[in-house]
């Protein structure tokens, strides 16, 4: 017979979900109320305000989609695109590939600008594509490519989109709360994220924001949005301003308590302070890894502080290391994806997980594990280097 499930206590330093702050886990257990209860509607309004703060936007259409980050991606494309539209898609990892897939499933054409995995989207190539395809109406790119640990220049890409008369669709699933993101300041049109990366909330929600220009485009569609569930024309009546809320779907009430708490925590810390904290602990981690003799695959200027792709040293089977970390230290790190499978580990320092304790645990656990498997690394240096960084 099945019995209650008690998950083991882990330290989550992978590509997400990240460690959830206990305050958020406490919030999710509060009593469920009706999703049209006036008290719940007040909570929805507060969530919208808090999301506007996190995204740095005054867009009225800013809300969490009731599904994970992938649904935010899908919502962006199915709402903006109609058959025959053309989209420039930047691909330098797994998630750009998914954008292309979404564009094509909308019956639109994807013009792919490819860059090598582990490098940022090349602005010159994007500009060339925009020049070559003046009929393109959307530029889509991933701000923080979680599959490789690369940050692309969202501000410059958005400026190119504007210059060539395109709207921008921005994947900020891993960037929101972790690195600078300025929706209004950079003129971004549709930006979506996820609850379980740098917001350190439970998985299952996708915050999204639409600029007034994007809303206009959605309102003026010639054809209906192919997805009923993700049709923003309908969702606007549920999440829209005022108390005239009409039933669309049952909001995940308790998960929204969790998101509200996560966003409160972000606001209490301050967005800029959260960005600084991610850089601060990332630097300690990198110092430790490099002292051990390990190498990051991404060049320093385009590294994401919240996702560190580390080369697996020669002769070491990467999966064995992850399994040992999980078994002996209850510590989760991520594997490489796609063309980087078997070649890298992905160490996340996201949100609540991004703290000194976890950097120190990760360095010593990784060192001990690599030594036990006979890796050729420098012993005894990593923790010292990180500790010295924290002391100074």
Ligand X SMILES: *Cc1c(COP(=O)(O)O)cnc(C)c1O
Q: Give contact residues for ligand X (rule: CB under 6 A).
A: 16, 68-70, 73, 95, 142, 144, 146, 171, 173-174, 194, 203
Q: How far is the CB of 207 from ligand X (least distance, A)?
A: 11
The answer for 36, left when phi > 0, alpha when psi is -120 to 50, beta otherwise, is alpha
Parallel, antiparallel, or unpaired: how do β-strands 167-171 and 190-192 relate?
parallel
Q: How far is the CB of 14 from ligand X (least distance, A)?
A: 11
Q: How far is the CB of 290 from ligand X (least distance, A)?
A: 25
* Straight-line distance from the first to the last Cα atom of the chain, in angstroms, rounded to the nearest whole number: 55
Nearer to ligand X, 65 or 377 (CB): 65
Parallel, antiparallel, or unpaired: how do β-strands 344-348 and 331-335 relate?
antiparallel
Q: How far is the CB of 204 from ligand X (least distance, A)?
A: 8
Residue of minimal CB distance from ligand X? 69
Helical spans, DSSP H, in the chain: 22-28, 38-55, 69-80, 94-105, 123-132, 154-163, 212-219, 232-239, 253-269, 271-292, 318-329, 356-372, 382-391
Parallel, antiparallel, or unpaired: how do β-strands 206-210 and 331-335 relate?
unpaired
Q: How far is the CB of 206 from ligand X (least distance, A)?
A: 7
Nearer to ligand X, 199 or 325 (CB): 199
Nearer to ligand X, 188 or 382 (CB): 188
Nearer to ligand X, 82 or 153 (CB): 153
User: Is the C-alpha dihedral spanning 141, 142, 145, 151 positive or negative?
Assistant: positive
Nearer to ligand X, 205 or 284 (CB): 205
- Is-contact 149 298, C-beta < 8 A? yes
């Amino acid at each position: 017979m099945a019995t209650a499930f008690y998950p083991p206590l882990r330290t989550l330093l992978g590509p997400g979900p990240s460690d959830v702050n206990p305050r958020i886990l406490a919030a999710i257990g509060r009593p469920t109320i009706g999703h049209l209860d006036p008290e719940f509607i007040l909570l929805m309004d507060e969530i919208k305000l808090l999301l506007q703060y996190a995204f740095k936007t005054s867009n009225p259409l800013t809300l969490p989609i009731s599904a994970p980050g992938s649904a935010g991606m899908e919502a962006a494309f199915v709402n903006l695109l109609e058959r025959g539209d053309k989209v420039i898609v930047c691909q330098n990892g797994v998630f750009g590939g998914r954008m292309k897939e979404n564009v094509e499933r909308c019956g639109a054409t994807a013009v792919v600008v490819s860059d090598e995995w582990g490098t940022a989207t090349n602005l010159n190539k994007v500009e060339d594509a925009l020049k070559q395809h003046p009929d393109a109406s959307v530029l889509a790119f991933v701000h923080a490519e979680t599959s490789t640990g690369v940050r692309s220049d969202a501000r410059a890409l958005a400026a190119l989109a504007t210059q060539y008369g395109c709207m921008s669709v921005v994947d900020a699933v891993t960037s929101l709360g972790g690195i600078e993101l300025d929706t209004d300041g950079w003129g971004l049109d549709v930006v979506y994220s996820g609850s379980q990366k740098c917001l350190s909330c439970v998985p299952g929600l996708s915050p999204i924001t639409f600029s007034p220009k994007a809303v206009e485009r959605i309102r003026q569609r010639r054809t209906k949005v192919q997805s009923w569930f993700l049709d923003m024309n309908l969702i606007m009546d549920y999440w829209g301003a005022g108390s005239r809320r009409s039933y669309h779907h049952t909001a995940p009430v308790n998960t929204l308590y969790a998101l509200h708490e996560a966003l409160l925590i972000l606001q209490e810390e301050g967005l800029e302070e959260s960005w600084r904290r991610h850089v601060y602990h990332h630097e300690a981690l990198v110092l430790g890894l490099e002292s051990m003799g390990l190498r990051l695959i991404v060049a320093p200027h385009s590294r994401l502080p919240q996702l560190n792709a580390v080369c697996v040293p020669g002769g070491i089977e990467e999966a064995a290391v992850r399994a040992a970390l999980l078994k002996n230290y209850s510590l989760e790190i991520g594997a490489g994806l796609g063309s980087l499978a078997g070649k890298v580990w992905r160490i996340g320092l996201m949100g609540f997980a991004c703290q000194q304790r976890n950097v120190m645990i990760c360095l010593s656990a990784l060192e001990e594990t690599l030594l036990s498997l006979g890796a050729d690394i420098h012993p005894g240096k990593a923790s010292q280097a990180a500790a010295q960084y924290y002391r100074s």
